[in-house]
Chain A
Amino acid sequence: MKLTLKIWRQPSQNVKGKFETYSLDNVSEHMSFLEMLDVLNEKLSFEQKVPIAFEHDCREGICGTCSLVINGQPHGPLQGTTTCQLHMRNFKDGETIVIEPYRASAFPVLKDLSVDRGALDRIIQAGGFISVSTGQAQDANAVPIEKDVASHAFDAATCIGCGACVAACPNSSAMLFTSAKVAHLALLPQGKVEAQKRVLNMVRQMDLENFGNCSNITACEAECPKGISVSNIALMNREFLSASFSSNDAN
């Protein structure tokens, strides 16, 4: 395959960026999208040019490190797939592919295609955990959880925190991410203990990070590589409403 690649290049956060066009020959259709970029970077290094910065880690679709907006879609055209699991057979020979970083004020571009997604980590730090006393591990089946509830919680827990929801949202809202984390823990008995405090703190942190507001456009759900449902957002709205009116915190 021969490809024309229009890639966003930006030396650092405070320097203006622009698109550069590269042409890449002999691309195998069996390569993943990231392997294609590896080949391009090898070529650039060989030509004594600065390789393109992009994020990647497990390359198995489970860590949430890879990102990219490919032809206008976070993680590219294939639904329910991360960029690392997207293969070049989904593109045509001679195609022009536009590759951009995630765009959101809360995700500043660090270099080229890599952005700072620390805002999502800070939302987790605000309440996306359960407090457990250390000691001997409890028997796995000691706490009974109904199958439907466990499945719902698991579906929410499959969120890998990649930030594609924020990138896809015209408002750059992080509601899908935050709601997946809230729902995952609020549904389970272990998470119920701190449920009210959790949702209040996580929403407060989300608002501090300057994400936009949810308009129920559902672009987040459509682009989520893990298919997280917007019904989690409704669940978080319910949790937030009830916690605001009934939590023990006077403020």
Chain B
Amino acid sequence: MSWMTNALKPIGLVWFANFLTSSIGKKLLMSLSGLFLILFLPVHLIGNLQLLAKDAGVSFNLYSYFMTHNPLIKTVSYLLYFSILLHTIQGLLLWRKNKKARGNIGYAVSALRGDGTNVKAASNMAWLGIIIFVFIAVHMYQFWLQMKLGKVPMVMIEGTEYKNLYEPVVLAFSNPGFVIFYVVSMIIIGIHLNHGFQSSFQTLGLNHKKYTPFIKYIGRIYAFIVPFGFAIIPIIVYGRNNLWW
């Protein structure tokens, strides 16, 4: 009996606890939290692209004000934090279980092959995920936490005072080491998404010869375009400030 079974027993949901703690239920949680993060990324990207507007950060600062004050977005953001934590913790627990299932003695010769996905990425999702989590932690400390704690300079836009998040972001992107760290992290996210996108549909049971090839196709495009869009921003900002583009 797991802690979840004990917790859900008084309300008659033992079956639901059994479902969530089964191997398929655990993977379903990975799939749903992953799909939510997949939905979130393009929204985040569209916001970030405003860093490229040549208006000294006015549109970006107005956008970040909106994101931190709109009640609907604030509610969804809690779901986002929950999804990141759930996806990370559940992923690490599954990783540990899978390593145990494999046993102590590995193969002397390994010749992993697979169909229709990148087997190297697919079998290293945990490592890729750990790197991504480190990136998210650095990212949230650097921008999100500073914004929340108010350690951000203020700026006047049309007579109203706003937090100037634009300034620390541009400052961070003028550090070549950080730009490289950011771009490499985006490549890792792309590899993780390339497997994760189509894999999440398969886990949900959505596999059909009519639409699975399409899902795989869209997944590959998504896994390229979204990280590419994120990665190009620090490169352009760095270029503008240091190479006089």
What residues of chain A have their CB less than 8 Å away from a CB belonging to chain B? 6, 17, 19, 69, 71-73, 98, 100, 103-106, 168, 170-173, 175, 203-204, 206-207, 210-219, 221-223, 230-231, 233-238, 240-241, 244-245, 249-251
Contacts and interface: CB of A to CB of B under 8 A. Distances in A.
B101 A222 contact: no
Which residue, A98, A207, A221, has most C-beta atoms of chain B within 10 A?
A: A207
Contacts of B212: 231
A169 B37 CA distance: 27
Interface stretch (B69-77, B202-210, B221-229): B202-210
Nearest to A105: B103
Interface residues of B, number: 49
B134 interface: no
A203 B24 contact: yes
A217 B102 CA distance: 15
11 contacts: A104-B103, A105-B102, A210-B101, A213-B26, A214-B23, A216-B195, A217-B112, A233-B207, A234-B205, A235-B205, A240-B22
B110 to A, nearest CB: 5
A219 B18 CA distance: 28
A103 B109 contact: no
Given A218-B114, A238-B205, A172 B199 contact: no
Contacts of B125: 215
Which residue, B15, B19, B205, B212, has most C-beta atoms of chain A within 10 A?
A: B205
Given A100-B108, A223-B113, A237-B24, A216 B199 contact: yes
A231 B113 CA distance: 17
